[in-house]
Structure 1
Amino acid sequence: MEKQVYIKKSNDEMELFSFEKLKQSLLSTGACKEVVETIVKRIQPDIFDGISSNEIYKKAFSLLKKHNKVSASRYSLKRALFDLGPTGYPFEKLVGALLKEKGYKTKVSVILNGECVTHEIDVLAEKDGNVYAIECKFHSDVKATSNVKVPLYINSRFLDIQKQWNTNSNNKTHLKQGWLVTNTRFTEDAVNYAKCVGLTLLSWDYPKNNGLKANIDTLALYPVTTLTTLNKKEKHQLIENDVVLVKELMNATKKMKNIGISEIRIQRVLDEVKKLCQNNSN
């Protein structure tokens, strides 16, 4: 029988550790059952009361990487999103790419006039004659959440822009809705308020089974920070060169050469890119 141990989550809360939950998160990366069982057995003796969830992640990631680099890349997605920082622009680009893949026309960083003041919109998306103003709240801190003040503020900005947009006879489209996207989580009040005013929310795991993680996995739109064949410095140099998504590397061999990656390593990177983009776990 498994011993009951409590682990320390990233927000400092204690939670009863579940081996089943660990198994499921490893299986969701596309790793086979035998590999997952092996990893869990290896980790089991190292679990103790008060161990951090981050420590468990590091152990599991290290073991998974030895068995299957592509699965390890998927497993690192949550951390990889934090690594997109320190600025919010790469995250905005990722959100724009997700929407583009879903059939929206998108623009990143757009200045729009409101009825009262001018606003900078992170992503403007259009589909079927409707336009959506999307605000991206990127956090580098895993403990950060977006409380009710954030959707309150975003909704007031949206209403100001909407009044101006929908009364302007030059606009042939309808500004329908505001969205708020974050790489962490929303508080319960933030979710309730957004539901009440019709603001669409998207976070790491909200809406259930349709959050950022689910969308990135389904569309295989992974950020370059997930790759195991690049080091941290190289990833940030690529982001500085406007390469944010893994699939963009297929046409970025020159940029990889320019930051000092050898021909042999470029081939390894591209091999991982192909596997990650083609064999997504869904």
Structure 2
Amino acid sequence: MKPKTLQIVKSSGEKVLFSQTKLRKSLARSGADKNTIDEIINKLNDELYQGISTKEIYNRAFALLKKEKTIYASKYKLKKAIYELGPTGFPFEKFIAALLQYSGYKVETGKIMQGKCVSHEIDVVAKKNEQYIVAECKFHSDKSSTCNVKVPLYIHSRFKDITENKQHKDILPNQGWVVTNTRFTKDAITYGNCVGLYLLSWDYPKKNSLKDRIDRLGLYPITVSTLLTKREKEFLLSRDIVLARQLEQDDFYLDHLGISEMRKRRILLEIKTLCKK
């Protein structure tokens, strides 16, 4: 069967036509060259079958990339690595705070802010120049989950309550953000844009989405590593090491894990290569 007539099954259960163009683009984002991508696609085309899941395609492409070069595999697994920041969502908040901090913002997490009516715990507060952002992070461990219109409705009401408290001694926040690791529904985007909320998701806004920002800044989550074990990643996350770049600076944590010098050098080389913009 020709790939262009092939139906594949997404994590949501939805059936869609297989797109070689989309697969090629996702492989290109890993940094793999054209010859490597062509070789992988040719191998995958021989293994595709009617009703194959996107997860199976991903796993096979990941294995082929890892065999070619681990750095390609690390970048290719970015979306999965974001899900590995779960299940509580707290490391995701720390990750978003770190993204903003490395972008020049002064950040705080878990800050209590008094509104006109009630107090609110804000996931991430960020300030830079005239920007004063209050951001709510919505983490989903289920890949089929989306942020529907109820989320920006709720966040907007909290943002309004905070900005209507005229007794704030410092400057009032001027931007409300909603950040998610999955996707927004069409109504959520329409409402968010209508009331002036800034929405940031895995693939929105176009050319400045979460994945775009990570690639552009070289700020990959520690979970993107293909050399660290799950237990090692969990240990690092528990020590607030959410960015690969942070481990490059605080590599003594690898000594705490009892990692050998040889393996430590391999891990740090992977991270150093990964964090190049």
Q: Find the aligned partners of 1:269 and 1:256 in 2 and give their Cα distance.
A: 9
Q: Which runs of 5+ in 2 are unaligned?
A: none
Q: Residue 170 of structure 1 corresponds to which residue in structure 2?
A: 169
Runs (4 or more) in structure 1 with deviation over 4 Å come to none
Residue 277 of structure 1 aligns with which residue? Answer: 275
CA distance in 2, matches of 1:220, 1:161: 33
Higher mean Cα deviation, 255-264 or 154-163?
255-264
Q: Deviations over 1:193-212 (max 9, x none)?
A: 10110010000000012110
Q: Deviations over 1:134-155 (max 9, x none)?
A: 0000111101101000110011
**In 2, Cα distance between equivalents of 1:253 and 1:194:** 41
Aligned counterparts of 2:11 and 2:176: Cα–Cα separation in 1: 29
**What is the CA RMSD across the aligned residues, in angstroms?**
1.2
Contact in 2 for aligned 1:130/1:174 (Cα 8 Å):
no
- Determine the structure 2 residue equivalent to 1:90: 91
- Partner Cα separation in structure 2 for residue 4 and residue 156 of structure 1: 47
Conservation of the 8 A alpha-carbon contact between 1:221 and 1:245? yes
Deviation (angstroms), 1:16: 0.4
1:137-176 correspondence runs (5 A): 137-164=138-165, 167-168=166-167, 170-171=169-170, 173-176=171-174
Aligned to 2:246: 248
Correspondence list, 1:258-273, <5 A: 258-273=256-271
SS of 1:51's partner is: coil
Q: Does 1:179 align with 2:177?
A: yes
What is the aligned partner in structure 1 of residue 8 from structure 2? 7
TM-score (norm 2): 0.96
Distance 1:174 1:153 in 2: 19
CA contact (8 A) 1:129 1:174 kept: no
**SS, match of residue 168 in structure 1:** coil
- 1:169 deviates by 5.8
Deviations 1:52-99 (A, max 9, x none): 001000000000001111111110000000000111121111111222
| CA deviation profile, 1:190-237 (whole Å, cap 9, x unmatched) | 001101100100000000121100000000110011001111111111
1:276 aligned partner, one-letter code:
L
List gaps (5 residues or longer) in structure 1.
none
Tell me if the contact between 1:183 and 1:203 (Cα under 8 Å) persists in the aligned partners: yes
Single out whichever of 250-259 and 221-230 deviates more from structure 2.
250-259
1:85/1:2 CA distance change after superposition, 3 Å: closer
Q: Residue 246 and residue 44 in structure 1: after superposition, are their counterparts in 2 closer, same or farther (change >3 A)?
A: same
> Does structure 1 conserve the Cα–Cα contact (< 8 Å) formed by 2:124 and 2:134?
yes
